[in-house]
Amino acid sequence: MVLKILTLNCWGLLVVAKHRAQRIRAIGEVIAAGEYDVVCLQEVWLERDFALLKEKAKGSLPYSHYFYSGVTGSGVCVLSKHQIQDVFFHQWPVNGYIHKIQHGDWFGGKGVGLCSLKINNFNCSLKINNFNINVYSAHLHAEYNRASDEYQAHRVLQAFDTAQFIQLTSGSSDLVILAGDLNTEPGDLAYRIIMNVARFKDSYLEVKDENPPARFGTNETSENSYTPKCLVKKGFVGKRIDYIMYHGSESINVILKNYRLPLPNRVPNCNFSYSDHEGVAAEFELEKSNGEKFEDKNADSAAVLKESIQICNDALSNLKTTAIIYWFITAFLFLLLVSSIPFDAPFGYRYVIHIVRGLLTLFLTFTLIMGSLWHKIESHGILSGRLAMEATLKKYESISK
């Protein structure tokens, strides 16, 4: 049994994303060629774009599912050659801020999507009648400023939540695959959480060829037409933040046969790339196993969780400080608004006073909500994740004793 997987962040933002319509059509032509068994896409924000991709690929990938969530939809979808048996979407409890419109992650209601595939009698030599594959696709919160990352705690919690969700839902699977834009580089804490807690293998690191892939960056590569020119001039090789991770089971051994970045640098007959991300493809060969022996990662997992718990503690401390600041601003705006009530503006300027009072009321409402309701929601989301980490940490520590 050979299984070919493709993942791609399509950069399908309306208006903001350049050449979106042309690129979506070109992506549709690639997946319609029938080379892949499963395709995981992210940032497909518009329903009409998903409908176009689904229509183009229906001959080779007749089964598909879009994970609706949030205001704009999660942007995550899966297209498959094999029938999709079950689907589920787990939305993360912490996912950015509603007022950070320039970032927009909150509006997507991001999370991790699961498509369970069942292949019947795919290979008589394996003597398996029903082969179960769990395909997970996710798009973690973006990192907008690596030097000062205000979303680190959110991304760490999303990574742990994803690893925990996969562990709890993949018990009966013969093959588990996580594909998507994880917005975390190898070595980062979020990456280490997923790799250790969910017991994954990174396709890029498992390549056994004598000549490993020359290209490894999947975002902001020098070959991509959408990479800022300042980075190209510096010779920036790009970041590897798009992944295909996997592990087998007691009955199935998974052999990585190929890993590559399959898309050319430019859409044919065009001067732009398919996306601001590179596509990632992996080919797996599945064979019967007497029982896969998972690498003992308990010690690494415990260390990663301790580091993650500290990140959560720091985030909770920062939230308390932020809430106090919001309450001070709220009190100041309230006093300013009250003090303006007896003020009688000169004739002809009353409309200015009304506008100022209206703006003060809006700002006061915003700071009040951020210091009370939003503070509670975010604090509880982080606290919930920290408690889950602590419970998992105790499990690893008891095993190692």
Encode 206-245: b = buried (16+ Cβ within 10 Å), e = exposed.
ebeeeeeeeebbbbbbebbbbbeeeeeeeeeebbbbbbbb
Q: Is residue 311 over pLDDT 90?
A: yes
Is a pLDDT exceeding 90 seen at residue 212?
no
pLDDT tens, position by position, 104-123:
899 999 999 999 998 875 45
Tell me, what DSSP letter sits at residue 250? S
Judge whether 93 and 385 are in contact, CB under 8 Å. yes
CA angle in degrees (0–180, nearest 5) for 244-248-254:
75
Instruction: Please confirm, yes or no, whether 277 is among the known catalytic residues.
Output: yes
Give the whole-number percent of the chain exceeding pLDDT 70: 91
Residue that the structure tokens 């924000």 belong to: 45
Instruction: Indicate which residue of 19, 141, 277, 375 is catalytic.
Output: 277
pLDDT greater than 90 at residue 186: yes
Reported as a pLDDT band with limits 50, 70 and 90, residue 172 is: confident
| Residue 346 reports pLDDT greater than 60 | yes
pLDDT classification of 348: cutoffs 50, 70, 90:
low
Computed over every residue of the chain, the mean pLDDT equals: 90
Residues 6+ apart with CB under 8 A from 83: 63, 117, 118
